[in-house]
């Protein structure tokens, strides 16, 4: 009768080889699950409102001067030097009908919307502060300034009013001081492009009553 010769260890290797491969795969999956990329507001420099006056949704009388107070904050994710700008912007082609901004939505979509407002509007009043910072620094900046409601806001076809808007925005910019013809100094600001500088902006639409309403609801 033939006897089967056993080879110590071979059977164990055959069984454990696939097991080790399976365990290694499961380990990699577990590690990759723990190392998911952080949200964009934890990777990009974040610009946000801490408080504003006026607040979103507040009815404003366009016949009265607009006094703006903003407390903003920058959370840096890289070295940035420039100006933080709180600004009221008027657009004759963007308004409540085609531009909805949520100041609590700290996403790339909102940052691109603010960038769109900046590219399609003119200033109606602003405050600027020189800033510089590095990764993980949180910097609070306060502003107080006056703004005006342009007469074009309610001019022309009444049906187009919903496509004209006044916005309060907060963003980072590069700045250059120039001398005006009358000898005064002026600061020209250029918004830092969102994607190039990896920065998230914020803002919202200012709600205006019909002129002559006198603050009545």
SS (H, E, C) 26-85: HHHHHHHHHCCCCCHHHCCEEEEEEEEECCCCCEECCCCCEEEEEEEEEECCCCEEEEEE
Q: Is the pLDDT of residue 1 over 80?
A: no
**Residue 18: pLDDT band by 50, 70, 90 thresholds?**
low
* 60 part of a folded domain: yes
User: Does one domain contain both 82 and 12?
Assistant: no
User: Does one domain contain both 87 and 149?
Assistant: yes
User: Does one domain contain both 33 and 126?
Assistant: no
Q: Is the pLDDT of residue 30 over 60?
A: no
User: Does one domain contain both 171 and 194?
Assistant: yes
**Residue 16: pLDDT band by 50, 70, 90 thresholds?**
very low
Supply the mean pLDDT for the chain. 85
- Residue-wise pLDDT for 76-95, tens only, equals 999 999 999 999 999 999 99
Residue 144 near residue 127 (C-beta atoms within 8 A): yes
Q: Is the pLDDT of residue 21 over 90?
A: no
Q: Are strands 185-191 and 165-179 parallel, antiparallel or unpaired?
A: antiparallel
CA 106 – CA 40 distance, rounded (Å): 8
For residue 168, the enclosing domain spans 41-208
pLDDT value for 216: 44
* 214 part of a folded domain: no
The total of structural domains in the chain comes to 2
User: Does one domain contain both 16 and 94?
Assistant: no
pLDDT value for 106: 94
Residue 133: CA atoms inside 13 Å, Cβ hemisphere, count?
23
- Residue-wise pLDDT for 119-172, tens only, equals 999 999 999 999 999 999 999 999 999 999 998 888 777 677 888 999 999 999
* 215 part of a folded domain: no
* 93 part of a folded domain: yes
Higher pLDDT, 138 or 36: 138
User: Does one domain contain both 86 and 138?
Assistant: yes
* 30 part of a folded domain: yes
**Cis peptide upstream of residue 217 (ω within 30 degrees of 0):** no
The reported pTM is 0.80
| pLDDT, average across residues 64-84 | 96
**Residue 22: pLDDT band by 50, 70, 90 thresholds?**
low
């Amino acid at each position: 009768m033939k006897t089967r010769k056993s080879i110590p260890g071979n059977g164990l290797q055959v069984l454990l080889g696939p097991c080790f491969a399976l365990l290694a795969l499961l380990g990699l999956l577990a590690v990759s699950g723990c190392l998911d990329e952080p949200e964009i507001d934890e990777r990009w420099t974040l610009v946000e409102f801490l408080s504003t006056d006026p607040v979103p949704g507040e009815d404003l009388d366009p016949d009265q001067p607009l006094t703006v107070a903003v407390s903003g904050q920058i959370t840096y994710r890289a070295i940035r030097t420039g100006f933080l700008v709180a600004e009221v912007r008027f657009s004759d082609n963007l308004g409540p009908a085609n531009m909805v901004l949520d100041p609590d939505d700290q996403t790339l979509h909102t940052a691109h919307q603010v960038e769109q407002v900046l590219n399609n509007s003119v200033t109606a009043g602003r405050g600027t502060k020189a800033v510089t910072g590095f990764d993980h620094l949180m910097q609070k900046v306060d502003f107080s300034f006056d703004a005006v409601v342009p007469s074009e806001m309610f001019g022309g076809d009444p049906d187009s009013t919903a496509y004209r808007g006044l916005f309060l925005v907060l963003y980072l910019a590069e700045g250059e001081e120039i001398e005006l013809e009358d000898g005064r100094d002026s600061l020209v600001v250029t918004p830092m492009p969102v994607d190039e500088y990896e920065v998230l902006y914020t803002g919202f639409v200012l709600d205006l009553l019909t002129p002559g309403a006198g603050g009545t609801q």
